[in-house]
Chain A
Amino acid sequence: MNLLLDLWTVVAVITGAFFFFAGTVGLLRFPDSLTRLHALSKADNLGLGLVVLGLLPQMDSVSAGLKLVCIWLLVLLSGATASQWIARTLRHSGSGP
């Protein structure tokens, strides 16, 4: 059982790291601000989510795990807000599509 949980952690964290990597590549390579924003939010939402899911079985207590999940949810909220805000500012300033 422990081996399975460890395996899950390794797979999930590596997948999460891949999303961060892909998000970074997208941030550097995509042509305009809106697509770059899209790449960035993928890294935050999916990447961090997978890392948190992967770390959950390694937590000592339920409350520590809950804190991790709370951090993910808070990052989701702040990431979504910031992206929406930036995109909106772009549209109002006329530099977006």
Chain B
Amino acid sequence: MKPAPFKYIAASSLDQALALKAEYGDEARFLAGGQSLIPAMNFRLARPEVLIDINPLSELAGIDRSDGETIRVGAVTRYRALERDAGFLNACPLFADALPHIAHPQIRNRGTIGGNLSHADPASELPAVATAMRARMKIRSSQGERELSASEFFVDLLTTCLEPEEMLVEIAFPASPPRSGSCFMEVARRRGDFALAGVAAIVSLDEDGQFTDVRLALCGVGETPVDASEAASSLIGQRCTDKALEAVAAEVQATISPSGNVHASADYQRHIAGVLTRRALASAHEWVVHA
């Protein structure tokens, strides 16, 4: 399974990379970690005429926590860097739960957060995490810059809103508010496989233990990550009870339209989406209570 021929350019600067992408448009792809792109190229499912290698652009990698409110992560930051940064994991605990589910260490040593989000596989964990966390996606082209919410970024199956000349350059995550807890859980056939369903939950509680905010996003059950926070709105002002959580789970099940795949039927996906919703919310709640 050898890839089709392509022209290879190792970018020397971000401006150059963007200029090249503007020139070649859809004929060119950015090469970051390559852990999704290169298998597709080996299968000849992807046949870019030009590869612009952005790995040399160290300015696009790194975690910036200087601003206490926001954690900025460069798009070419590798999963490996994220999982080894205790400060980052502390600030964004959903990542601590989600990262071990992403493929295997060998993949995480190369793959990047920007590459993952730009690939927009709905069964992938980080698009759901970004959605739950209300991440802001910073996009650049040689013409300028724009910023979008995660929900606006993920448009369709394997499709983002990125125009042919654009690159995702940075993702900004709001710092966890006080008295909040999070949990990411998924069901997959084997460790590291794509999720049959996964849930990212963030909850905030007031002094009386009542929910003040609930963020809920699912992977694996739609064409894009599914923001199911609305389904959890019944929890606001409530305490955490089994009945309350079951109601949210049922609401989530009613909202989603999983399509099924070779590993699981749509009914099974819907079923475990409900199970994981309950479990993730309970776990996130526990986190706050015991903190």
Q: Do A and B come from one complex?
A: no
